[in-house]
Amino acid sequence: MERKFVLSCCSTVDLPYAYMAQRDIPVLFYHYVVGNQEYVDDMGRDPAALPRFYGFLKAGQLPQTSQINVADYLDFFEEQLQKGDLLHIAFTSGQSGSVHNAQAAGKLLQEKYPDKKIVVIDSLCSSSGYGLLVDTAADMRDAGATLEETAQWVLRNRNKVHHQFFSSDMTQFRRTGRVSGAAAMVATIMNICPIMRLDDKGAIKAYGKVRGKKKAVEATVNAMEEHAQGGRDYDQRCFVCHSQCPEDAQMLIDALEERFPRLRGKIRLCDIGTIIGSHSGPGTVAVFLPEAVVETPVESVVWGSVVTIVVAIVVDAAESLVEAAVETVVVLVVVVVALVVCVVSVVTGFGSSEPLTLPTTMPQPTVDI
């Protein structure tokens, strides 16, 4: 069937480039910088690209990511407009401001090409959940839907792609300031995995935590059953992605296939790309599927909420006390070490033939937050 428009997206769909090319979905690539060198969000075109990226993280180097600028969008959109009208589904505004540059570029080109249709939509989705939204829009395009019909469907359903994440490695969260150093240390010592999802603005929010990967997988599968269309009878597609932890991802896939025996086809397993990986680091697993509207009876809301709130208060209070105690110990250790260094310096200085020079200001201990 003849396609009535061009559908495009950004590289943060976290699907293989070969798959996007097969589906005839043009992609605009994000970039990241390490040192003075710029690298492309490769989407699997170069097999060495992703291992190199995680090698940077392992070495303690912090990749810098940035928005796609208006000029890049102008060049990309103009190329696509030569093929027909354009629907571009952009990476969530909850994690990047690139969509605003895309909209600005679209407006400029609409003025330049008044006979063309250019629509830019904020997906409010991330990683392979964003990929699932774009992939479904491609199904509509291939079935003969118009640009307007597909755009309206995306707008109605972009908040209905459920994103569920867990992470077993807090290193990159600490480095990027998403958790404090003390909280990351507590999570590591106690084997705590935060449980996360996307909110309605497309931003990642942590809403729970469990101890150990097995409990994280169980909590994730339970959440997916709660949100999936039809519960255990869910019979549509499911995408899973991971950042350098294929064994954890496979453990989740096995649990999902057992819980949802009617899934349509095999679960698609993908790598979390370099842009989202710059913030999540290794050890993150995510799952995505269309979400159902869940209505809970009032009685269960009242009594269930009371129990849940009481338990949550007790657990959070206990964990907060532990975290506060550890953070206090860390600060005290830093102070004691600094004092010891100062005393040793003074003693060493008095025993030297060189005059002792004290710094005008004491160096302050740095704490990653």
The pLDDT tens digits of the residues spanning 40-82 come to: 999 999 999 999 999 999 999 989 999 999 999 999 999 999 9
One-letter amino acid at 1 equals M
Give the model confidence (pLDDT) of 80-128 as tens digits: 999 999 999 999 999 999 999 999 999 999 999 999 999 999 999 999 9
Statement: the pTM of the whole predicted model exceeds 0.85: no
Tokens of 362: 């004491």
Residue keyed to tokens 């004092």: 339
Distances (CA, A) of 176 to 117, 245, 250, 317: 40, 20, 27, 26
Helices (H) and strands (E) in the chain, counts: 12, 13
Q: In whole angstroms, what is the distance from residue 304 CA to residue 111 CA?
A: 55
User: What pLDDT shows up at residue 270?
Assistant: 95
Tokens of 356: 């002792």
Q: In whole angstroms, what is the distance from residue 17 CA to residue 20 CA?
A: 5
User: How high does pLDDT run on average in the chain?
Assistant: 81
Among 124-128, 268-272, 309-313, 330-334, the range scoring the smallest mean pLDDT is 309-313
Q: What share of the chain is helix, strand, coil (3-state, %, to 5)?
A: 50, 20, 35
The packing angle between helices 181-189 and 298-350, to 10°, is: 110
Q: What are phi and psi of 143, to 5 degrees?
A: -85, 0
Q: In whole angstroms, what is the distance from residue 279 CA to residue 274 CA?
A: 9
Q: Radius of gyration over alpha carbons of the chain, in Å?
A: 25
Contact at 8 Å (CB) between 170 and 188?
Answer: yes
Tokens of 339: 């004092």
- Mean pLDDT to the nearest integer, 200-207: 87
Give the model confidence (pLDDT) of 169-180 as tens digits: 777 777 766 667
Distances (CA, A) of 27 to 57, 169, 282: 25, 30, 25
User: What pLDDT shows up at residue 187?
Assistant: 72
Give the model confidence (pLDDT) of 226-281 as tens digits: 999 889 999 999 999 999 999 999 999 999 999 999 999 999 999 999 999 998 88
Query: 7 by DSSP, 3-state: which?
Result: strand
Task: For residue 199, give every residue at least 6 positions away whose Cβ sits within 8 Å of its Cβ, in sequence order, or none.
Answer: 94, 205
Give the model confidence (pLDDT) of 351-364 as tens digits: 333 332 222 232 33
Q: Which of 274, 268, 260 is nearest to 286 (CA)?
A: 268
Q: Of how many residues is the chain composed?
A: 369
CB atoms within 10 A of CB 261: 10
Tokens of 21: 């090319």
